[in-house]
Amino acid sequence: MQKTKHSVIEDVFALISAGLFVAFGVYLFQSQDLMVGGAAGLALLGTYAFDMDFGLLFFLINLPFYTLAWTQISKRFTINTFISVTTVSVLTEQIPAFVDISHVNPFFAAVFGGILIGVGMLMMFRHSSSLGGVGIMAFYLQQRFNIRAGTFQLTVDSCILLSALFFISWPLVLISILAAFCLNMVISLNHRPERYFPVLGEDSSDKAKTESKKADAKRVDNNERSSIDSELRAQNG
């Protein structure tokens, strides 16, 4: 199965668009004191523990993981992830200057914010990128120590949500679990590489079968012609 190769312009536009999706989802979460998993969740926790903005914390948390991504995954993945993380870090600090939410239902913020972040992450995956942090570590542990990435990610996200109980009320934590469910549903239902080129795979298989049948038919036809020629030569002889 061939992988689609994107141009640099396509990558940059897609990653900035994805960053906007993620940043607005995080903005909705922040407006209702909701939590999310991964590096973004760690950054949100950090905003409660330290007097720092989410964007700066998110950027700093991801710095140690770039070396791991550069050496264990690929240079392109690392560069694209850096673009994604930087975009999210910048946009989350700039969105309040353009959007003012006076009221939003926490359940709507959880569902819509989770879907927005999920779609943004899906776009990043399709362009060899990620939100960095925990995702990079999960990939490394799976490749190096055969620890399942999904299990590691789920464990870290659970710890982040449990830690959030020290800073936010338990009803908000429960709503945050709903947000995490929506986010992961978007990814699990859509991030299936084997579905990206189903027609191509089927066409290639059908084409190979057709060519094989043609070759067989040609061999049979040639054998029949050879047999007829032999009979004609025998009769003429």
The helix or strand, by DSSP H or E, that contains position 229, with its residue range, turns out to be helix 198-236
**Closest of 84, 89, 9 to residue 52, by C-alpha:** 89
Regions of the chain where pLDDT drops below 50: 1-2, 196-206, 232, 234
pLDDT at 171: 93
pLDDT attached to residue 199: 40
pLDDT for 174: 93
**What pLDDT does residue 2 have?**
44
List pLDDT tens digits, range 52-98.
888 899 999 998 888 888 988 888 889 989 999 999 999 998 998 89
> What pLDDT was estimated at residue 7?
80
pTM to 2 decimal places: 0.73
3-state secondary structure 89-136: HHHHHHHHHCCCCCCCCHHHHHHHHHHHHHHHHHHHHHCCCCCCCHHH
Furthest CA-CA distance within the chain: 105
Q: Within 10 Å of residue 217's Cβ, how many Cβ atoms? A: 10
Taking 3-state DSSP, the helix, strand and coil percentages for the chain, each rounded to the nearest 5, stand at 80, 0, 20
